[in-house]
Chain A
Amino acid sequence: MIRPSIPMRQALARLVLPLFVMAGFALLLLGRADALLAERARMALADAVVPAFSVAGMPLAAARAALEKLRELRSLRADNARLRAENEQLLRWQAAAAALDSENATLKEALHWTPVPAASYVTARVVADAGGVYARAVLLPIGRSHGMTKGQVALDGQGLVGRVTELGARSARVLLVTDLNSRIPVALESSRGRAMSMGTNGPRPRLAHWPEEAPPVEGERVVTSAETNAFPAGLPLGTVRYRAGVPEVELAARLDRLDAVRLFDYGQRGVPPPEAAARLAERRGK
């Protein structure tokens, strides 16, 4: 092998960094031009790390559950008293609900109401918080091979969590409603006014574009609206909270401690999730 002279080698070594900086810029442009490529690479990596993360998360989840149990033991008496009071109240609500249910049934009968088919769902454990500094997302260990599709709606026990935006063979990424790119058409429950819930990367999304005559009222429930055919109507999102004069949504879902989510397939394909939308625009441009 011919060895280059020392000054030659030094000159070559000095060229390496600018070369890779240029490659970095090329990567940036490539990522802009072809969003699908970046997404595919990302999900390939996610597919590779999801099994390891699932296993690694188990002892941690067990430890957290044990701590939680200890905390519960300490507040057992107080919890008991609170639950008893709550139970009494709920029993009263149960009677009211039963009455309303039968009334609802008779009214539907009278109106020849066509029933909405119940949506099918799967439940998945949240494997990792897959967000970054400027993104809020979670990673699930189920993917295309489990029959998942993009745009499926994720809920926890209390409310809307987000939507499936990226899909690998055995992993899926759910963009949370708090993400900066998240835009959800909502309805304000008491006025039935439509609005948009815009993610800010903070814990509470902001409300915008509400009708002038019906501003959001503090404490009002916010549910999804079927406006753009992206979500089914009536999924609970949270309640209105004003902070510094700006209406925000106090989320019903507990996004800071997501353990498992239910994924519903409502077959809604009205508005594709953000990444897919970028690609669609690109395809149209071609």
Chain B
Amino acid sequence: MAPLRTPGIRPRPTLRRRLDAASRRLFPAAGTTVLLLLAAAPLGLPGQAQAQPAVALACVFFWSLARPASMTPPAVFLLGLLADLLGLTPPGVSVLILLAAHGLAAGWRRALVQQGFLTVWLVFAAVAAGAAALEWAMVGLLSVRLLPAHDALLQFGLTAGLFPALAALFTQAHRGLADPDRA
């Protein structure tokens, strides 16, 4: 049972209520999984191959900031593994990048939650640049080849550009669907 954080009268924790709360707690990781699969689905959108790491990074960064209790290192590890298997990157590459993003978001959490969205976006853009560069370097190193840089640039642009839309969506979910206190 979750410890009581705030004083007050609470409804009795029936099975249904506890299931409701658990599913709300699971929402960030489950939602990210669904989005990752959706990004790999045959939608025929341009730039879809680049959208997948973008979605993964945005999800992990946002939820690590907003609800670190629901985006834990084990969850990030599994999401990274899924991204690696779906995206044809050598296994471990997305795992390490997402864990790094999670670590940064968790470390800067206290400073970032007080800032406006623009600052968060700028910080995320910097993280996205680092992630794209890291992926470019790691995949290149593992395949012993100099990869074309425009793929990395496109990925960075898409990641930074998709973030506001995804963040707007997640903010809604954060306040409603994914809030365990609303169970």
Give chain A's interface residues, CB within 8 Å of chain B. Answer: 16-17, 19-21, 23-32, 38, 41-42, 45, 49, 52-53, 56-57, 60, 64, 126-135, 137, 180-181, 200-202
Per-residue A-contact encoding for B124-161, CB less than 8 Å = 1, 0 else: 00000000000110010011010110011001000000
B73–A20 contact, CB under 8 A? yes
Which chain A residues border B53 with CB–CB below 8 Å? 132-133
Which chain A residues border B44 with CB–CB below 8 Å? 60, 64, 129
Q: Which partner residue on chain B sits nearest A56 by CB separation?
A: B41
Interface-lining segment among B90-98, B108-116, B174-182: B90-98
Which chain A residues border B100 with CB–CB below 8 Å? 21
B32 beta carbon closer than 8 Å to chain A: no
Query: A17 vs B42: C-alpha distance in the bound complex, in angstroms?
Result: 34
Which chain B residues border A202 with CB–CB below 8 Å? 148
Query: Among the listed A19, A27, A130, which residue makes an inter-chain contact with B91, where contact means beta carbons less than 8 Å apart?
Result: A27
Query: A42 vs B89: C-alpha distance in the bound complex, in angstroms?
Result: 10
B88–A132 contact, CB under 8 A? yes
Per-residue A-contact encoding for B59-86, CB less than 8 Å = 1, 0 else: 0000000000000111011001110011
A137–B73 contact, CB under 8 A? no
Query: A41 vs B82: C-alpha distance in the bound complex, in angstroms?
Result: 10
Which chain A residues border B143 with CB–CB below 8 Å? 134, 180-181
Measured between C-beta atoms, what is the minimum distance from B174 to chain A in Å? 22
With A41-B91, A131-B88, A133-B50 given, name 15 new contacts (CB 8 A): A21-B103, A24-B80, A29-B92, A30-B92, A31-B92, A53-B40, A129-B44, A129-B48, A131-B49, A132-B52, A132-B53, A132-B86, A133-B49, A133-B151, A202-B148
Measured between C-beta atoms, what is the minimum distance from B112 to chain A in Å? 17
B96–A128 contact, CB under 8 A? no
* Contacts known (A17-B106, A53-B42, A200-B148); A27 close to B89, Cβ less than 8 A: no
Give chain B's interface residues, CB within 8 Å of chain A. Answer: 37, 40-44, 48-50, 52-53, 72-74, 76-77, 80-82, 85-93, 95-96, 99-100, 102-103, 106, 135-136, 139, 142-143, 145, 147-148, 151-152, 155
> What is the interface of chain A mostly: helix, strand, loop, or mixed?
helix
Which chain A residues border B37 with CB–CB below 8 Å? 49
Which chain A residues border B139 with CB–CB below 8 Å? 133-134
A128–B148 contact, CB under 8 A? no
Query: A279 vs B62: C-alpha distance in the bound complex, in angstroms?
Result: 39
Query: Among the listed A17, A19, A27, A49, which residue makes an inter-chain contact with B95, where contact means beta carbons less than 8 Å apart?
Result: A27
Query: A27 vs B98: C-alpha distance in the bound complex, in angstroms?
Result: 14
Can you identify 27 A-B contacts, CB atoms within 8 angstroms?
Answer: A17-B99, A17-B102, A20-B76, A23-B95, A24-B80, A24-B95, A27-B81, A27-B91, A28-B96, A31-B90, A31-B91, A32-B142, A41-B85, A45-B86, A52-B41, A60-B42, A60-B44, A129-B49, A133-B52, A133-B151, A133-B152, A135-B87, A135-B89, A180-B143, A180-B145, A180-B148, A201-B151
Query: A17 vs B80: C-alpha distance in the bound complex, in angstroms?
Result: 14
Which chain B residues border A53 with CB–CB below 8 Å? 40-42
Q: Which partner residue on chain B sits nearest A45 by CB separation?
A: B85
Which chain B residues border A181 with CB–CB below 8 Å? 143
B87–A133 contact, CB under 8 A? yes
Query: Among the listed B72, B135, B155, which residue makes an inter-chain contact with A16, where contact means beta carbons less than 8 Å apart?
Result: B72
Measured between C-beta atoms, what is the minimum distance from B157 to chain A in Å? 12
Which chain A residues border B48 with CB–CB below 8 Å? 129
Which chain A residues border B81 with CB–CB below 8 Å? 27
Query: A134 vs B136: C-alpha distance in the bound complex, in angstroms?
Result: 8
